[in-house]
Amino acid sequence: MDTLFSGGMGRQSRPAGLGAMDIKERFAFLDPVIPVCVMLLVLIGIASVYSATYDAGASQYFNRQVIWASAGFLLMVAIWLLPFRTLQMISYPAYALSIVMLLAVLVAGKTVAGTRSWFGIGGFGLQPSEFVKVTTLMALASYLSYRHLDRGRFSELATTFGIVLLPFGLIVLQPDMGTAVIFLGALFMILVWAGAPVFLLLSIAAPAAAAVATLFNTTVFLFVISSTLVLLFVMRSNRLLSSMVFSLTVLVGVSVQYLFNQLAPYQQKRILTFLNPDADPLGAGYNVIQSKIAIGSGGIFGKGFLHGTQTQLNFIPAQWTDFIYCVPSEEFGFAGAFLVLALLTAVLLRGVQIASTVKSRFGSLLAIGIVSVLTIHVIINIGMVMGIMPVIGVPLPFMSYGGSSLLTSMIMAGILLNLHRNRKEY
Amino acid sequence: MTDFNLLSRRRSFFYVFVSIVALVYFFRLVQLQVVYEDEYGKRSDENSLRAVVRSPLRGYIYDRNGTLIVDNRPSYTVTVTPAEFDRSRLGYLAEILSADTALIQGRIDRGRAVNRFAPARVMRDVDFPTLAFLEEHRDRLPGVEYLVESKRFYPTKARAAHLFGYTTEVSDAQVQAMPDEYKSGDLIGATGLESKYERFLRGKKGYSFITVNARGESQGQYNGGLSDIAVTEGDDLYLNIDAGLQAVAESLMADKRGAVVAIDPATGGVLAIVSKPDYDLSLLGGVTPADLWTQLNSDPAKPLFNRATMTRYPPGSTVKMMLAAAALEDHVVSPSWGVNCTGVFQFGRRPFRDLHVHGNTGFVQSIQKSCNVFYYQLMLKVGLERWNRYGKMFGFGSPTGIDILEENSGLLPSAGYFDRVYGKGKWTQGYLVSLAIGQGEMGVSPLQMASYAGAIASRGYWHTPTVVGRIRVKESGTWIDNTVQTRRIEVGDDVWRIIREGMDRCVNSEGGTASLARVPGIRVAGKTGTAQNSRVKDHAWFVGFAPVDDPKIAIAVLVENSGYGGTHAAPIASRCIEQFLTGTITPRIIYSPPVAASDSSGEAH
């Protein structure tokens, strides 16, 4: 086992009296942390869906979630046992297939809540945009596995971006902003991991920061602009490139402001409501206010399973999907909310640890990609539910109701397990 | 991975990044669930707990014999929950309710301003066919519901519109002043007893606590109903009113304008209080149609005006007993004092006339025959100051303090009053001569006259008239007795004997002006009066009591613009007295007024 990890989670789960070697032997093929945490999260998620949709008995939502979790478990085990090369071999075909599905869903998909992102298969809905997250990570890892971005070749950079921007663009068309944001965030984090030059990272991060800052106010925008200027100056990179990045940053900031002004008032309101949800308690800010009440009123030990008033009385619309975190937070209080947060953190930290242990570059990039996607999901989802992030519809991995999301999360866990099992392969 | 340093740095970056996110979220959880737990807990309770108001029934009203005279009946009120209502159906709803669109709109908007999730009353007392129609079409009218409430019902023939009064919806100002007691749309007493005894009649609201979901749909009782606050019905009023007498007095006055007030001389309890013309209370149960209001307000007969307590007419000759009492008690003249009535009294250059030549007249005859000349001369001896003092003792010139809201104090002229109106030294003793026979400036209400009659009947006990005798408090089951305030009028028995003898003869002896007040088998005492009017017919007065030896009822009757008191007011008093004392009225000849009998205005009878 890796030294980094044995100082963390591993030691706590180690039974007394066993030597370090025994542990290594026993878990050589199966990482102990991820399966335990993932199964706990899935079970808590199922219980939460049960509670959130409880109506004098189990609901259809609960029954379906159990079916999906079972299927997800089988998938996770199957992927864990795949031969090492298989994942890399199917990367491009899987990517191509998922892009075709994205196109198809735009043409023939069902529109749910204003977003055309669903296939109806039998009684079940399927969301290609969830699975695309995995295939894009695989394709990206595959492509970057034998290229080095620090050489600064434009064609390589362009291809790297292209692999992500193609599904990103198709998802924006649906439109599904949450998923799109996750693609961009994950791309940035993979570039960091792949050793992209800091200048390159800055030239991506600065315009993005400017775009967000401009929505707050001018002061924040000017702060971002001046910080960019200082960083560029400190780096002493190519002056032409530096000035291009700076111009891009300003341009993006200004045009976002312009685009914002072009938006319909209700769209503007939705964005501004994030900044102050209490300003519109019955409109866009309603969900966040209600979810904060649910979490806060849970207190330390919660109101008891099936006794959360916010949850049982449906104060949070469609709580079983994006606002599922409220359920354990309200009914089991801080104890429940902390457990979920700790389990998710454990999975993420363990994922970073796997990414840094895996010998193959493909595996390492894929692992960090998965960690990145999961991390951004957690940041946006829990941050949104706790009222410190904008209301962007992304599910909470392993817990939110929804087959595509749950299966994708568990596929990712399966991939992490597979990479861990094959960590010594090059 | 070739470069160990690079790997190490990147790994650290990700560890630190994930850890920082986890820490930030951890502290946010602590903030929400530990630091602000109480606040969010409270907001959570408020979210899901709804208090459903249980409106109490207004208190019942009974008469002195325990007969129910103001009852409650179920009434259907249509409500609209603004948050659920489809605005495009406004016209449709207004059409069904046959109401003005703007009215319905206004009520919904007011409800929206208070709480858009709570049903707002849009129309009270909706009839059953309309309700059934609404039920059938409820799928097209989301948010439209109905409430079963109560409305007043008057089971006896006693209308007593001015006495009972009506209720209206509370004003916004009232809701703001008493937010615990009233919510927008509640009823509040507006006039009469409903208003005066509002704090007893309204009862206390009850609250049932239910849990609701985000759509406000009930999810059942909160805490098994243990936290509910029980409703307390309104307290019942037990009046001194005799419903039978009230009804008879109303029917006797049916085609007249005027008032009848009867009181119990022993207690001041009001036995009947009638003002005519009146209005039908059952049409004013809560929301009064605008056209009915306009009609009531613009009616020249002023049906809303309470003539029993608010009029201010000269009392005419009925006031003579007061002047006699002042003269006799203060020994201004001896009881054997008298005048020789020649039918006219010359004061300065002005002749004051009498209707008849009464010849030698003493106190008893002066009351019996209502001799004006006697009182013209007596007044000059008594003087304004003493007259005014005795007037006050008999309750003139100030409100009686009856437990009804609206009351006119009347006017009892004094030297100060004349100085103020005419200027010091610019009025003469001649002004007093008119006051002697109850004309001129003096103004009284029928209620004051009934109290005055009661004071004579009880030989000097002036009681504050009270309509409500007792209140049955529902919450404790106890009784509250209305306090009776009594003032002794310091006049000796020998004086009362003279005055009462005069009133007895006025009714029962040959030559008395009030012979039409007689009741078969019961000895009635009384005095007539005719209040002058410059242009229209005189107002007829009668005050009296019965039985003479042990008075049980004192009464004042005013019939506006009819003529002589003896002709128009006395017969009404006669039947009221008989009804009260025997429970029936024997048929008797009804006097038909002689043509042009009241033309000779100028002096009073």
Choice among B358-367, B410-419, B463-472, B585-594 with the minimum mean pLDDT: B585-594
Whether omega for the bond prior to residue A277 falls within 30 degrees of 0, making it cis, is no
Cβ contact, residue pair A299, B22, below 8 Å: no
What's the pLDDT tens digit per position in A308-365? 888 877 778 778 888 999 999 999 999 999 999 999 999 999 999 999 999 899 999 9
Q: Helix B372-382 crosses helix B320-329 at what angle (to 10 degrees)?
A: 50
The per-residue pLDDT for B68 is 95
Contacts of A345 in chain B (CB under 8 A): 18-19, 22
Instruction: Pick the residue from chain B with its C-alpha nearest to A384.
Output: B25
Alpha helices in B348-476 (DSSP H): 363-369, 372-382, 384-393, 415-422, 430-436, 446-457
* Domains contained in chain B, CATH given: 75-153 (3.30.1390.30), 244-582 (3.40.710.10)
Residues A393 and A272 in one domain: yes
Return d(Cα A218, Cα B543) in angstroms, integer.
89
The per-residue pLDDT for B19 is 94
The per-residue pLDDT for B1 is 42
For residues A43 and B231, the model is more confident at A43
Choice among A3-12, A222-231, B335-344, B363-372 with the minimum mean pLDDT: A3-12
Assess if residue A24 is contained within a domain.
no
Nearest to B374 by CA among B436, B435, B313: B436
Contacts of B39 in chain A (CB under 8 A): 296
DSSP B120-179: EEEEEEE-HHHHHHHHHTGGGSTTEEEEEEEEEE--SS---HHHH--EEEPPHHHHHH-T
Q: Best mutation site among A293, A326, A362 for testing chain B: the one with the most B CBs within 10 Å?
A: A293
Instruction: Pick the residue from chain B with its C-alpha nearest to A194.
Output: B10
Contacts of A314 in chain B (CB under 8 A): 213-215
Residues A180 and A169 in one domain: yes
Residues A88 and A126 in one domain: yes
In B27-56, the residues whose Cβ lies within 8 Å of chain A are 28-30, 32-34, 36-37, 39-41, 43-45, 47-48
Contacts of B21 in chain A (CB under 8 A): 375, 378-379
Q: Give the closest of A290, A296, A345 to B37, CB-based.
A: A296
The per-residue pLDDT for B491 is 93
Assess if residue A149 is contained within a domain.
yes
Q: At a CB cut-off of 8 Å and minimum separation 6, what does B212 contact?
A: A313, B48, B49, B50, B218, B219
Based on the number of CB atoms within 10 Å of its own CB, is A125 exposed (0-12), middle (13-18) or buried (19 or more)? middle
Q: Best mutation site among B2, B25, B38 for testing chain A: the one with the most A CBs within 10 Å?
A: B25
> Highest-confidence range of B142-156, B269-283, B291-305, B349-363, by mean pLDDT?
B269-283
The alpha carbon of residue A328 is apart from the nearest alpha carbon of chain B, in Å, by 12
The alpha carbon of residue A175 is apart from the nearest alpha carbon of chain B, in Å, by 28
Residues A118 and A229 in one domain: no
Instruction: Pick the residue from chain A with its C-alpha nearest to B21.
Output: A379
In A348-377, the residues whose Cβ lies within 8 Å of chain B are 348-349, 352, 355-356, 359, 361, 364, 368, 371, 375
Nearest to B355 by CA among B343, B342, B345, B346: B343
Question: Average pLDDT of B245-272?
Answer: 95
> Of A262, A282, A298, which marks where a domain is finished?
A262
Any chain A CB within 8 A of the CB of B478?
Answer: no
Assess if residue A364 is contained within a domain.
yes
Chain position carrying tokens 């005798």? B469
Any chain A CB within 8 A of the CB of B2?
Answer: no
- Residue B133 reports pLDDT greater than 60: yes
Q: Give the closest of B18, B34, B48 to A313, CB-based.
A: B48
Residues A62 and A163 in one domain: yes
Residues A119 and A179 in one domain: yes
Report percent pLDDT > 70 for chain A: 83
The per-residue pLDDT for A5 is 37
Q: Give the closest of A195, A309, A359 to B48, CB-based.
A: A309
Contacts of A333 in chain B (CB under 8 A): 33
Tokens, residue B509: 């002896």
Contacts of A378 in chain B (CB under 8 A): 21
Any chain A CB within 8 A of the CB of B214?
Answer: yes
Tokens, residue A280: 């519109």
What's the pLDDT tens digit per position in A115-124? 666 666 555 5
Nearest to B391 by CA among B340, B333, B423, B435: B435
Cβ contact, residue pair A334, B48, below 8 Å: no
Assess if residue A426 is contained within a domain.
no
The alpha carbon of residue B156 is apart from the nearest alpha carbon of chain A, in Å, by 51
Residues A398 and A381 in one domain: yes
The alpha carbon of residue A315 is apart from the nearest alpha carbon of chain B, in Å, by 5
Cβ contact, residue pair B18, A348, below 8 Å: yes
Cβ contact, residue pair B213, A315, below 8 Å: yes
- Residue B600 reports pLDDT greater than 60: no
Based on the number of CB atoms within 10 Å of its own CB, is A258 exposed (0-12), middle (13-18) or buried (19 or more)? exposed
The alpha carbon of residue A369 is apart from the nearest alpha carbon of chain B, in Å, by 11
Name the pLDDT band for B286 (thresholds 50, 70, 90).
low
Between the alpha carbon of residue B125 and those of residues B79, B280, B286, the distances in Å are 11, 16, 8
Chain position carrying tokens 């809201």? B405
Name the pLDDT band for A16 (thresholds 50, 70, 90).
very low
Contacts of A382 in chain B (CB under 8 A): 25
Q: At a CB cut-off of 8 Å and minimum separation 6, what does A159 contact?
A: A143
- Residue B508 reports pLDDT greater than 50: yes
Cβ contact, residue pair A299, B15, below 8 Å: no
Total domains in the fold of chain A: 2
For residues B48 and A134, the model is more confident at A134
Residues A323 and A184 in one domain: yes
Question: Average pLDDT of B540-565?
Answer: 93
Interface predicted TM-score (ipTM) over 0.90:
no
Contacts of B13 in chain A (CB under 8 A): 192
What's the pLDDT tens digit per position in B391-435? 999 999 999 999 887 889 999 999 899 999 888 888 888 788 889
Nearest to A394 by CA among A412, A372, A379, A411: A379
> Of A262, A282, A310, which marks where a domain is finished?
A262
> Of A241, A262, A283, which marks where a domain is finished?
A262
Secondary structure class of B210 (helix, strand, coil): strand
The per-residue pLDDT for A12 is 44
Any chain B CB within 8 A of the CB of A228?
Answer: no
The alpha carbon of residue A195 is apart from the nearest alpha carbon of chain B, in Å, by 8
Count, residues in chain A: 426
For residue B420, how many other CB atoms are within 10 A of its CB? 10
Name the pLDDT band for B601 (thresholds 50, 70, 90).
very low
Name the pLDDT band for A86 (thresholds 50, 70, 90).
very high
Report percent pLDDT > 70 for chain B: 93
Residues A138 and A229 in one domain: no
- Residue A49 reports pLDDT greater than 60: yes
Q: H or E stretch including A85? A: helix A84-89
- Residue B2 reports pLDDT greater than 70: no
Return d(Cα B481, Cα B2) in angstroms, integer.
103
Q: Helix A265-275 crosses helix A198-216 at what angle (to 10 degrees)?
A: 100
Choice among B226-235, B281-290, B344-353, B413-422 with the minimum mean pLDDT: B281-290
The per-residue pLDDT for B505 is 94
Domain limits at A344? 31-196+263-421
Q: Best mutation site among A37, A286, A352, A360 for testing chain B: the one with the most B CBs within 10 Å?
A: A352
Cβ contact, residue pair B1, A379, below 8 Å: no
- Cβ(B496)–Cβ(B459) under 8 Å? yes
For residues B360 and B603, the model is more confident at B360
For residues B602 and B171, the model is more confident at B171
Cβ contact, residue pair B40, A295, below 8 Å: yes
* A119: alpha, beta or left? (left if phi > 0; alpha if psi -120 to 50): beta
Q: Give the closest of B7, B22, B30 to A345, CB-based.
A: B22
Quote the Cα angle for A159-A165-A171, to 5°.
155
Question: Average pLDDT of B475-500?
Answer: 92
Whether omega for the bond prior to residue B277 falls within 30 degrees of 0, making it cis, is yes
Name the pLDDT band for B174 (thresholds 50, 70, 90).
confident
Q: Helix A198-216 crosses helix A239-262 at what angle (to 10 degrees)?
A: 30
Residues A82 and A104 in one domain: yes
In A72-111, the residues whose Cβ lies within 8 Å of chain B are none
- Helix and strand numbers (H, E) in chain A are 20, 3
Q: Give the closest of B18, B213, B215 to A352, CB-based.
A: B18
Chain position carrying tokens 């201010």? B312
Cβ contact, residue pair A296, B36, below 8 Å: yes
Any chain A CB within 8 A of the CB of B223?
Answer: no
The alpha carbon of residue A391 is apart from the nearest alpha carbon of chain B, in Å, by 16
- Provide the Cα torsion B97, B102, B106, B108; round to 10°: 40
- Residue B596 reports pLDDT greater than 70: no
Contacts of B219 in chain A (CB under 8 A): 312-313
**What number of C-beta contacts closer than 8 Å exist between A and B?**
124
For residues B303 and A262, the model is more confident at B303
Q: At a CB cut-off of 8 Å and minimum separation 6, what does B276 contact?
A: B250, B253, B254, B256, B257, B258, B259, B307
Assess if residue A7 is contained within a domain.
no
- Provide the Cα torsion A131, A135, A141, A146; round to 10°: 180
Residues of B466-497 as b/e, b for ≥16 C-beta within 10 angstroms?
bbbbbbbebeeeeeeebeeeeeebebeeebbe
Any chain B CB within 8 A of the CB of A299?
Answer: yes
Q: H or E stretch including B260? A: strand B258-263
- Residue A284 reports pLDDT greater than 70: no
Assess if residue A16 is contained within a domain.
no
Residues A124 and A239 in one domain: no
The per-residue pLDDT for A21 is 54
Residues A100 and A227 in one domain: no
Cβ contact, residue pair A315, B17, below 8 Å: no
Assess if residue A207 is contained within a domain.
yes
Sheet holding B218-221, edge to edge: B49-54, B206-212, B218-221
Q: Give the closest of A192, A338, A345 to B10, CB-based.
A: A192
Alpha helices in A109-176 (DSSP H): 128-144, 154-173
Q: Give the closest of B7, B17, B33 to A356, CB-based.
A: B7
Secondary structure class of B241 (helix, strand, coil): coil
Assess if residue A151 is contained within a domain.
yes
Mean per-residue pLDDT over chain B, rounded: 87
